[in-house]
C-alpha cells in the first residue's frame, strides 16, 4: 500500500472515530478523487442554527494539510507491517 493510500485510510478513520462523540449532527465528507476530507456540523443547538466545518484535511503533493492553516495539527502515521 502506497503512502497516499495510507493517508486516505488514516484520515477517514480519524474523522469517523472522533466525530462520533459530537452532540450535533455530523456530516463527514470524503472526496477520495480530489483527496479532500471534511467533518461538518449541521443542525440545531437550542434555537441556534449550526453549520460549521470542524476540520478540513487534504492531501497535496504527498503531504497532509489542513484548513484553516492556523490550526497547529501534527499528523503521525505509524504503518503496521504484517
| CATH fold of 3-67 | TATA-Binding Protein (3.30.310)
For residues 12 and 30, the answer to whether their CB atoms sit within 8 Å is yes
* φ, ψ at 12 (rounded to 5°): -65, -40
Task: Please give the chain's pLDDT, 82 residues, in tens.
Answer: 788 999 999 999 989 988 888 888 999 999 999 999 999 999 998 899 999 888 899 998 888 888 765 455 555 555 444 4
Q: How far apart are CA 76 and CA 62, in angstroms?
A: 14
| Global confidence as pTM | 0.76
CA 19 to chain CA centroid, Å, is: 9
Amino acid at each position: 500500500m502506497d503512502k497516499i493510500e495510507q493517508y486516505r485510510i488514516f484520515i477517514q478513520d480519524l474523522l469517523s472515530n472522533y466525530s462520533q462523540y459530537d452532540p450535533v449532527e455530523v456530516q463527514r465528507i470524503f472526496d477520495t478523487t480530489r483527496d479532500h476530507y471534511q467533518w461538518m456540523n449541521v443542525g440545531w443547538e437550542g434555537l441556534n442554527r449550526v453549520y460549521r466545518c470542524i476540520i478540513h484535511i487534504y492531501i497535496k503533493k504527498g503531504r497532509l494539510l489542513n484548513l484553516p492553516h492556523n490550526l497547529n495539527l501534527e499528523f503521525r502515521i505509524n504503518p503496521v507491517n504484517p
